[in-house]
């Protein structure tokens, strides 16, 4: 049996001093880092998600964006939805642009037969802000936020769904990165 001086005794192959240091760092890290609210300030526990102004000719976009934000923001930011007069923070914005039918052409040859599959791309652009109602402080703001989606010909709704998911995910990541 190997004997070590008291200062470097091991416990399961790990030095006691190293283990104590690791526990101290982990404990201190948890004390400093605030896990509440998914990156928002701790006092933001509720959020009102207002329908975005829609400057596009597609009337369905406003409701689809609102539905996606309600589904995603609440769960990923750790807040619950509330009415505008009761909420700690307000999410608002404008759907600035919706460009569809941007061609992306793919072609291939199968045997002796040329095959052409046409794919399309769409872009969705919004301005968004999240404001703390108590302090008036802007928690997150982004102008010209762009998301795109690809779709097969005559399947625009698939591309729109992709773009909406990307857009809301970018909103969450942006809000989380502020804190």
CATH of the domain at 68: 3.40.50.10610
User: Cβ distance 83 to 48 under 8 Å?
Assistant: yes
Q: What is the mean pLDDT of the chain?
A: 81
Q: Are residues 13 and 82 in the same domain?
A: no
User: Cβ distance 129 to 140 under 8 Å?
Assistant: yes
Q: Are residues 13 and 66 in the same domain?
A: no
**pTM score, whole prediction:** 0.71
Q: Are residues 117 and 41 in the same domain?
A: yes
**Predicted local confidence at residue 179, as pLDDT:** 53
Q: Are residues 128 and 158 in the same domain?
A: yes
- What value does the mean pLDDT take over residues 41-56? 96
Q: Are residues 7 and 77 in the same domain?
A: no
Q: Are residues 83 and 1 in the same domain?
A: no
Domains of the chain: total: 2
- For residue 38, name the pLDDT band (cuts at 50, 70, 90): very low
Give the DSSP letter of residue 117. E
Domain residues for 28? 1-33
**Predicted local confidence at residue 74, as pLDDT:** 86
């Amino acid at each position: 049996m190997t004997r070590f001086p008291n200062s470097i005794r091991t416990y399961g192959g790990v030095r006691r001093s190293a283990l104590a240091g690791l526990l101290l760092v982990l404990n201190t890290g948890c004390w400093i880092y605030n896990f509440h609210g998914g990156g928002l300030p701790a006092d933001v526990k509720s959020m009102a998600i207002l329908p975005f102004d829609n400057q596009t000719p597609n009337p369905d976009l406003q409701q689809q964006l609102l539905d996606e934000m309600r589904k995603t923001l609440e769960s990923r930011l750790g807040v619950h939805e509330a009415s505008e007069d009761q909420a700690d923070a307000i999410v608002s914005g404008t759907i600035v642009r919706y460009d569809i039918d941007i061609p992306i052409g793919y072609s291939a040859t199968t045997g002796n037969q040329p095959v052409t599959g046409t794919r399309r791309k769409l872009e969705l652009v919004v301005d968004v802000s999240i404001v703390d109602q108590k302090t008036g402080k802007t928690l997150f703001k982004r102008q010209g936020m762009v998301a795109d989606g690809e779709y097969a010909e005559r399947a625009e709704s698939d591309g729109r769904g992709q773009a909406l998911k990307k857009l809301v995910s970018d909103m969450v990541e942006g809000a989380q990165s502020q804190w």
